[in-house]
Amino acid sequence: MLRGVLGKTFRLVGYTIQYGCIAHCAFEYVGGVVMCSGPSMEPTIQNSDIVFAENVSRHFYGIQRGDIVIAKSPSDPKSNICKRVIGLEGDKILTTSPSDFFKSHIYVPTGHVWLEGDNLQNSTDSRYYGPIPYGLIRGRIFFKIWPLSDFGFLRDSPNGHRFSDN
Amino acid sequence: SPKNPEQKIIKRVIALEGDIIRTMGHKNRYVKVPRGHIWVEGDHHGHSFDSNSFGPVSLGLLHAHATHILWPPERWQKLESVLPPERILVKSEEE
């Protein structure tokens, strides 16, 4: 009787460990569902939207300009940020507004990317903390699940002029 | 590595966030380590590609903590967490 219960418990623990390992590998190497909060990516992603992220591109270094990525925050490793990639290493980024007379540029250093939110007025991004190392990128968002009225692949950046010359 | 995402580098942690450190070969003489970052240096100062070259490292890039050397067997040892005596901090956050 006791051996039956013990056997069942061990089997349950075994299944839980297997499930945990597979889930961890899936989230780490394949992708997962993410809920985004904050106004910095409006109108592309609103507060409390649920999106689908894939973690395959970053392992093969397939992240491109214009992709929306999830990255670890450079100042707080426990929290994630969700921004669009504006520049890759070697790109020249315009840091002043295009209407200013004296323009200033910055070059993205090797191994780093420049991120900006779509809602430029209300986004702390690379304009505030500088380019972030590529190794902080966790995954790429490519599909929105919720709200259903906005279901589908994500739109291109509304700030098309931000992709400056290389 | 902050300069090359494909590469993993192994260095010693010299300072944590909030500490002020006197650098060796960095463009600024004194650096305050920003929030969420650490300052790492190799033990062999002249020949090390570390924070003196690329600045403080974001904690999110930290992969693991090296505790022992396993191979070759004659170098089998536990790696001690000790700050080299010549690298004492100018100001620590705890003070």
Q: Which of A71, A31, A29 is nearest to A53 (CA)?
A: A31
How much is the pTM?
Answer: 0.76
ipTM confidence: 0.76
* Chain A positions in Cβ-Cβ contact with residue B3 (cut-off 8 Å): 109-111
Q: Which of B31, B37, B10, B6 is nearest to B87 (CA)?
A: B31
What per-residue confidence (pLDDT) applies to B36? 87
What per-residue confidence (pLDDT) applies to B23? 83
What per-residue confidence (pLDDT) applies to A165? 46
What per-residue confidence (pLDDT) applies to B52? 85
* Chain A positions in Cβ-Cβ contact with residue B6 (cut-off 8 Å): 61
| Other Cβ atoms closer than 10 A to A68 | 24
Q: What is the mean pLDDT of chain B?
A: 82
What per-residue confidence (pLDDT) applies to A140? 86
Position A161 pLDDT exceeds 60 = no
Sorted by where each begins, the domain ranges of chain B are: 12-90
What per-residue confidence (pLDDT) applies to B95? 45
Q: How many whole angstroms separate alpha carbon B36 and alpha carbon B70?
A: 31
Mutate: best of B3, B6, B17, partner A, most A CBs <10 A:
B3
Q: Which domains does chain A have, with CATH numbers?
A: 34-162 (2.10.109.10)
Chain A residue with the nearest C-alpha to that of B56: A74
CB contact under 8 A, A136 and B58: yes
Give the gap in angstroms from C-alpha A77 to the nearest C-alpha of chain B: 5
Q: How confident is the model at residue A21 (pLDDT cuts 50, 70, 90)?
A: confident
Position B91 pLDDT exceeds 70 = no
Asked if A158 and A166 count as a contact pair (C-beta separation under 8 A), the reply is no
Chain B residue with the nearest C-alpha to that of A79: B60
What per-residue confidence (pLDDT) applies to A48? 74
Over residues A102-127, mean pLDDT: 83
H or E element: which one contains A106?
strand A105-107
Over residues B70-79, mean pLDDT: 84
Residue A45 phi/psi, 5-degree rounding, is: -130, 120
